[in-house]
Amino acid sequence: MPMLHFTPAEYKARQARTIKELERRGLHGLIMFRQESMYYLTGHDTFGYCFFQAMYLGTDGKLVLVTRWPDAIVAKRVSVVKDCRIWVNKPDANPSIDLRAVLAEAGCAGKRVGIEYDAYGLTAAIYRRLDAALTDFCHLEDASDLVTRLRYVKSPAELAYTRKAAELADRALVVGNRMAQPGANEGDILAGMQGEIFRGDGDWPGNDQIIGSGEKALIGRHTVGRQRLKKNDQLTIEWAGAYRRYHAAMMRTIFVGKRPARQYDMHKVAVEAHRASVEALKPGNTCGHVFAAYARVCDKHGYKKHRHSATGYSMGTTYQPTWMDWPMFYENNPAVIVPGNVFFVHTLIFDQAKSLAVAPGQSYIVTAKGNTPLSKSSLDLVNN
């Protein structure tokens, strides 16, 4: 028996919803290159999408994975996939031809077939060969959003994994808050926080954990090279608890020693903006409404030029290189918020000219009446 993280019935229900949407769009089947889609529909869990890997699901229920031998082993051990077609690394290997053979078996010739063009596994080089193999064979239509939108609303089982991820994120923050002291090495803090997640049976997150002190506290990205915290310093960290590939992200700026009065005011405003954003995070509102709440508070207090152009995004089951999922909070984004969504809200204020940062952020589940915080941690300032 494969080692599944969801019941076979849940996988069948997800596939059935996908097939129903394919039929609604008039598509004969779907070619998937997004690892998230494969994991969601079958449990297939691998980083093998760095090579050619495609999964086909037809409206008749036909399910086939085209992949390399190591990833076929993974599929048979951890997923509901039974039909794996293996391609072998050779100088003249062209797995697009293998995929075409699968599509021919599935009766796709001359049919409208959906494909996930927006996928990290579908590089330009792979696409060129794929396009050559399928030209005049079938009519490909971009369906990159199909499974992504189905994943937008989480099942009770998915929410249970998300809550576990949030618990691990909270535990990591306790470690980070304790270790952020003058003289501490950022590498030790990273190791302590991620180690706490591993000790709780958590996973690697979908992208690098962010850590930066001093001027690097305003970068908002992971960069190589670790520093030691100074006597009077700032440390911005962004991390995610990850459990069974489900994420719950958090973000903080921790103060070390004495900081300018302006930065304390920035934190106060950022927390006010966070709470306003969370108040707007409710069914019927759009992602644009949440961003507008953040912008309104920042602008009211004179921080318009120091706010960001986005203030969070959906959380779910994602793979490297990012834990960000669709959709995002930005100006006028029309994506509608519904119960069962999970969102990460971060209300950053970065004063680049003065090298001052504040970054309160954590994740929430959208409910029928509003939302519930996944994190039990306080947004209060930590000043070591």
Residues 147 and 160 in one domain: no
Average pLDDT for 21-37: 98
Indicate whether 382 belongs to any domain: no
Residues 50 and 124 in one domain: yes
CA-based nearest residue to 40, from 244, 199, 195, 342: 244
State the Cα angle at 208 between 280 and 281, rounded to 5°.
5
- Which of 151, 179, 195 lies at the terminal end of a domain, its last residue? 151
Give the pLDDT of residue 362: 98
Average pLDDT for 285-306: 98
Q: Which contacts (CB < 8 Å, 24+ apart) does range 173-181 have?
A: 173/239, 173/250, 173/252, 173/377, 176/237, 176/239, 176/252, 176/254, 177/252, 177/254, 177/382, 177/384, 180/229, 180/235, 180/254, 180/256, 180/382, 180/384, 181/229, 181/256, 181/384
Residues 23 and 45 in one domain: yes
Residues 129 and 187 in one domain: no
Give the whole-angstrom CA distance, residue 323 versus residue 206.
4
**Residue 354 sits in which domain range?**
156-373
Looking up residue 325, the CATH number of its domain turns out to be: 3.90.230.10
Indicate whether 383 belongs to any domain: no
* pLDDT, tens digit (0-9, with 9 covering 90-100), for 133-179: 999 999 999 999 999 999 999 999 999 999 999 999 999 999 999 99
Indicate whether 325 belongs to any domain: yes
Spatial CB neighbours of 274, under 8 Å, sequence gap ≥ 6: 294, 345, 346, 347, 360, 361, 379
Per-residue b or e along 153-182, where b marks 16 or more CB atoms closer than 10 Å to that residue's CB: ebeeebbebbbbbbbbbbbbbebbbebbee
Per cent of the chain over pLDDT 70 is 100
Q: Residue 1: is its pLDDT beyond 80?
A: no
- Which of 151, 170, 203 lies at the terminal end of a domain, its last residue? 151
Average pLDDT for 245-249: 98
Residues 167 and 118 in one domain: no
Residues 81 and 183 in one domain: no
Indicate whether 137 belongs to any domain: yes
Indicate whether 112 belongs to any domain: yes
Residues 43 and 190 in one domain: no
Residues 137 and 217 in one domain: no
Confidence of residue 262 (pLDDT cuts 50, 70, 90): very high
* pLDDT, tens digit (0-9, with 9 covering 90-100), for 322-372: 999 999 999 999 999 999 999 999 999 999 999 999 999 999 999 999 999
* pLDDT, tens digit (0-9, with 9 covering 90-100), for 41-60: 999 999 999 999 999 999 99
Q: Alpha carbon 261 to chain centroid distance?
A: 35
* pLDDT, tens digit (0-9, with 9 covering 90-100), for 205-230: 999 999 999 999 999 888 999 999 99
Residues 122 and 167 in one domain: no
Residues 205 and 343 in one domain: yes
Indicate whether 176 belongs to any domain: yes
Looking up residue 112, the CATH number of its domain turns out to be: 3.40.350.10
Per cent of the chain over pLDDT 90 is 98
Domain count, the chain: 2
Q: Residue 352 carries which DSSP code?
A: T
Indicate whether 90 belongs to any domain: yes
- Which of 151, 174, 208 lies at the terminal end of a domain, its last residue? 151
Structure tokens at 291: 């961003």
Give the pLDDT of residue 2: 78
Residues 180 and 75 in one domain: no
* pLDDT, tens digit (0-9, with 9 covering 90-100), for 79-118: 999 999 999 999 999 999 999 999 999 999 999 999 999 9
Indicate whether 107 belongs to any domain: yes
Spatial CB neighbours of 1, under 8 Å, sequence gap ≥ 6: none
Average pLDDT, rounded, for the chain: 97
Residues 212 and 359 in one domain: yes
Give the whole-angstrom CA distance, residue 71 versus residue 148.
22
Dihedral over Cα of 228, 229, 234, 239: its sign = positive
